[in-house]
Amino acid sequence: MRPLSGVTVVALEQAVAGPYATRQLADLGARVIKVERPGGGDFARAYDSRAGGMSSHFVWANRGKESLTCDLKHPRGMAVLRALLERADVFVQNLAPGATRRLGLDAASLREAWPRLIVCDISGYGQGGPYETAKAYDLLVQSEAGLLSVTGTPEQMAKAGIAVSDIAGGMYAYSSVLAALLERGRTGEGSHLDVSLFEATVEWMGFPLYYAYDGAAPPPRAGAAHATIYPYGPFTAGDGKTVMLSVQNEREWQGFCTRFLGRPDLAEHPDFRGNAQRDRHRDTLGPLIAARFAELTGDEAVALLARIPVASARVNSVHEVWRHPQLAARQRWHRVGTPVGPLPALAPPGPTGAAPRMDPVPDVGEHTDAVLAELGFSAEEITGLRQEGAV
C-alpha cells in the first residue's frame, strides 16, 4: 500500500509544471489520468527526441500515468472529461490563462458540481492582478522574479540550466495537493489551490531579496562562485579538473589554511579573519588558493580536503551523474517502460517503505479505450467517439 493508493487525479496538463507535480503524486501511488489532445498530445512530447527517440522532458515528468485523448471542444469529449471528474479526487491543470474558464472548468464551477474535488490551478502569475493573463514560460518567469539578476557573471546574466520556475511551481502544487487531501480528510470538503510559478520562484529568491532589503546592494553575480561567502566556489587543479570548495566557518578556515594551504599565518591575517573580510579581499586570497590547487590533481585535492575536513565536490558532467557511485550504491536507478522500450529512471527521493512505483511512460492515448470502458462506454460507443474526433 502506497500513501496515495486509491486517490484519482485527473490532469489537464502540458509542458513541465503540471506534469512534474502529478508525477510526484503518481510516484506515491495516486492514479493519474493524463488528458491529452487527440493526435499529438502534450506538446512537450515533441520538445526533442533525445531519450531513445522520446522527449527528454516528457520521459522525466510523465511516468506512472494513464493517457486519455479527449477533444474538450467537442461536446462528447467534454462529457467524457466530466464523467472522469465525477470520480476524481483531484483535478490539476496548467493550461493557458483563462482556458479553463472558457471551457467551464474553472474552480468555482467544478467545486459547485463536486464539493469534495480538490482543484489545483497552476499558472504563471496566479489569478487576479495585472499579470494574470500574461504568458509565462520558465525563462520569462525566472527573469520577472529577479533570478537572472543574481545568476551569471559580472559581465553577463545567465539562466539556470534547469527549468527552475516550472519545477518550483510543480513542487508547490504537489505539496499543496497533499495538504488539501489531509484537510479534506478532516472536513470532507475539497478546496481550490492557486499556484503561481512567479510566486514559487520569488519564494526561492528569499536570500537575495533579504540581502538587498531596504535598498541595499544586491548580491553580485559571481559565476559559479558563491556571491557572498568565500572561499566557496570552483578552483582548477593541476590536471585540469575543477573542484568546488566550500569553507563555511572559522574552524574550517583554520584547518584549510594550516593543512591545505600550508599557510597557518593566513588563518589570523586581519584581511581574512571572518567571512566578510575574506569576501572583501577575494581578489587577493583567490590567487593564493588557486596556486595551491595547481600543485595537486583533482582527486588529490578532494582527498586532502576530506581529511581536514573541509567540504568539496567534483564538478561532474551530466554523463558522470549517470554513473555516480552514490546513486549506484543506494540503488536509485530503476527501469521504466516507454513506447520506445525500457529507460532508466531515478527512484523518487524520500520514501523508504514500499518499493518505489516506477510504472511506464504512456504513449499518446494509450489508455483511452480502457478508461472509457471503465466509465461505462460500450465498444460501439467508443468507436463512435473516435469517428467523431471526440477522443
Where residue 262 sits, what CATH number does that domain have? Answer: 3.30.1540.10
pLDDT for position 356: 76
Domain boundary among 314, 343, 360: 314
Identified catalytic residue from 166, 265, 359, 363: 166
Question: Domain for residue 37, yes or no?
Answer: yes
Torsion of Cα atoms, 134 then 77 then 118 then 121, to 10°? -10
For this structure, is 166 an active site residue?
A: yes
Q: What DSSP element (H or E) covers 311?
A: strand 311-314
Same domain? For 168 and 251 the reply is no
pLDDT at 351: 73
Q: Which pLDDT does position 145 carry in this prediction?
A: 97
In whole angstroms, give the CA distance from residue 74 to residue 84: 16
Q: Which among 23, 18, 174, 192 is positioned nearest to 120, based on CA atoms? A: 192
Position 65 scores a pLDDT of 98
pLDDT (tens digit per residue) in 88-121: 999 999 999 899 999 999 999 999 999 999 999 9
Name the grid cell of 44.
Answer: 512537450
Asked if residues 311 and 305 have their Cβ atoms less than 8 Å apart, the reply is yes
Mean pLDDT over residues 355-370, rounded? 93
Same domain, 144 and 184: yes
288 and 352 inside one domain: no
Residue ending a domain, choose from 290, 314, 338: 314
Residues of the chain with pLDDT > 70: what percent? 99
What mean pLDDT value characterizes the chain? Answer: 95
287-340 residue pLDDT tens = 999 999 999 999 999 999 999 999 999 999 999 999 999 999 999 999 999 999
Task: Give me 218's grid cell.
Answer: 544586491
Count, in order, helices (H) and strands (E) of the chain. Answer: 17, 11
Q: Is residue 222 part of a domain?
A: no
Contacts of 29 (CB under 8 A, 6+ apart): 1, 2, 3, 4, 5, 6, 7, 357
Q: Are residues 307 and 342 in the same domain?
A: no
Quick check: is 47 in a domain? yes
At residue 289, φ and ψ (nearest 5 deg) are: -70, -45
pLDDT recorded at residue 354 = 67
Instruction: Looking at the structure, tell me whether residues 341 and 374 fall in a common domain.
Output: yes
* Nearest residue to 224 (alpha-carbon basis) of 299, 282, 160: 160
pLDDT at 119: 98
With CA atoms as reference, report the closest residue to 65 among 371, 390, 383, 386.
371
Give the pLDDT confidence of 229-288 residue by residue, as tens digits.
Answer: 999 999 999 999 999 999 999 999 999 999 999 999 999 999 999 999 999 999 999 999
Verify that 177 and 238 share a domain, yes or no.
no
Q: Are 56 and 166 contained in the same domain?
A: yes
The answer as to whether 323 is a domain residue is no
**Number of domains composing the chain:** 2
Please name which of 60, 52, 248 lies closest in space to residue 170, comparing C-alpha atoms.
60
Q: Are residues 27 and 133 in the same domain?
A: yes
100, 168: one domain: yes
Tell me whether residue 301 is in a domain. Answer: yes
Cell numbers that stand for 182 in this block: 489531509
Are 345 and 373 part of one and the same domain?
A: yes
Tell me whether residue 322 is in a domain: no
Residue 11 has pLDDT above 90, yes or no: yes
CATH code of the domain containing 360 = 3.40.50.10540
Residue 225 lies in a domain: no
Give 218-241 pLDDT, tens digit per residue. Answer: 999 999 999 999 999 999 999 999
Give the residue numbers spanning the domain of 270: 232-314
* Residues 305 and 334 reside in one and the same domain: no
- Looking at the structure, tell me whether residues 200 and 239 fall in a common domain: no
Q: Does residue 3 sit within a domain?
A: no
